[in-house]
Chain A
């Protein structure tokens, strides 16, 4: 006969279970992540640090839905340079972007998308547009997080309380958007709601990533002040050097294990049989890759090893090697005759999906 656990017994088990798994939380990792947080002070010398913050903090958010930023970055300064994790840093100089695909074009397209998102943002019942000056507690606090961030901000005032406003906003996402997260609390009674596009085709395009809306509400007088931020990060143009030459022919695919400890050496696990059909699919997947946004680099949990899919193409222009690193958020790099092109592409998972189940020759 079996005995059913009582609530106190279950509670005791749960407490012991939670306590037993506390060691999954690495305090050093927590401090490292927290240490990447920038200060809210907007003094220019910290901009680079803020770029690093985005690299440290925003990777997961950026990949899945976009990055929250705190300042409009449309006034394009010279990019501070790719802030790449060491393991992802290519080694050679940049190549000129393809002509039809420019940084300026991407910035412009992002600006249009952000303005459109802001125009379609939610409105509280009885609300009316206001200026930043009319919502004094809502304006300011700007901090540059990324050279790639495009932000447009709108202000409004509305009757009612913060709780009423947030409840309405949570239940009434703008057309084409879903309510993401929300936060509440704090001594100033500030609350906010995030919205993310329902369609990846809207949130993540060749020109930008991470389109989202954030609406912040705070008490002002007898009503509330509302601040709506629409944000996205423009992608750099894809460098021509990352594209395959027209006559490129896929001559080899190898899947290698790369241990974190270099003393153990790289080992090729399998060589995949190249067929004409597979060559067509791989070439199409390489053509469809998008440049990663330089400020956004994953802060990944420790891995004892990673697996690389290496695709070798030959052409009259030489050898082109495409490496899809299958760890953490993934990354794809391209080398020409052994010299890396200074741009990271993604996602890597698509290339791996093409070959992981293909027949081949195990090498051990």
Chain B
């Protein structure tokens, strides 16, 4: 097998999972696809290394998260998409309280600082231990816990504010 084939295989195999992580980091399909694009572009610059790695998924994940965290300043320069996404025009689905709750949680996640959201996505979506999250983000493990604590506190506070008080029993 040639190195070239290996690189292509690595990228093709990892792309769906990377796109899912990108959704968790960015919150929208459009931004996630942008993030995957820039991640793959950056990975390509180190194609020779990627093709020979024992754990390319971790490497790609690290590139993606760092690319995302560094993108805040840059995204403000780009024109915004005005087209509607498929998801925006699908018929309303049957909703129940839990779905509403998760949609509200999704909205609240979008208000968190990028690094806090990244910590939550890596911990609760990717199921990474804090030590590994620290490695991905290039920060100390204690800082990971601090970000997680603050993010959870913010979510808890906002969710509590949104919860209607229980009716008093007569």
Q: Spell out A's residues near B (CB within 8 Å).
A: 1-5, 7, 10-11, 13-27, 29-31, 33-35, 37-41, 53, 56-61, 63-65, 67-68, 70, 141, 143, 178-188, 190, 192, 194, 196, 200, 214, 216, 299-307, 326-330, 347-349
Contacts and interface: CB of A to CB of B under 8 A. Distances in A.
Nearest to B34: A60
B85 A196 contact: no
Given A14-B124, A57-B40, A192-B46, 12 more contacts: A4-B156, A16-B102, A22-B20, A24-B32, A60-B37, A64-B77, A181-B66, A181-B69, A186-B50, A196-B74, A304-B86, A306-B82
A47 B30 CA distance: 28
In this complex, the member of A53, A192, A303 whose beta carbon has the largest number of chain B beta carbons within 10 angstroms is A303
Interface in B28-65: 28-30, 32-34, 36-38, 40-55, 58-59, 62-63
A10 B102 contact: no
Interface of B: 2-5, 7-8, 11-12, 14-16, 18-20, 22-24, 28-30, 32-34, 36-38, 40-55, 58-59, 62-63, 66-67, 69-71, 73-75, 77-87, 89, 98-99, 101-103, 105-106, 109, 120-121, 124-125, 138, 152, 155-156, 159-160, 163, 165-166
A23 B82 CA distance: 21
24 contacts: A2-B160, A5-B156, A10-B159, A13-B102, A17-B109, A20-B103, A25-B19, A26-B29, A29-B29, A31-B16, A34-B12, A40-B7, A56-B37, A180-B74, A181-B66, A181-B70, A185-B58, A186-B49, A187-B53, A300-B81, A301-B83, A304-B83, A304-B89, A307-B82
A16 B102 CA distance: 7
User: Secondary structure at chain B's binding surface: helix, strand, loop or mixed?
Assistant: helix
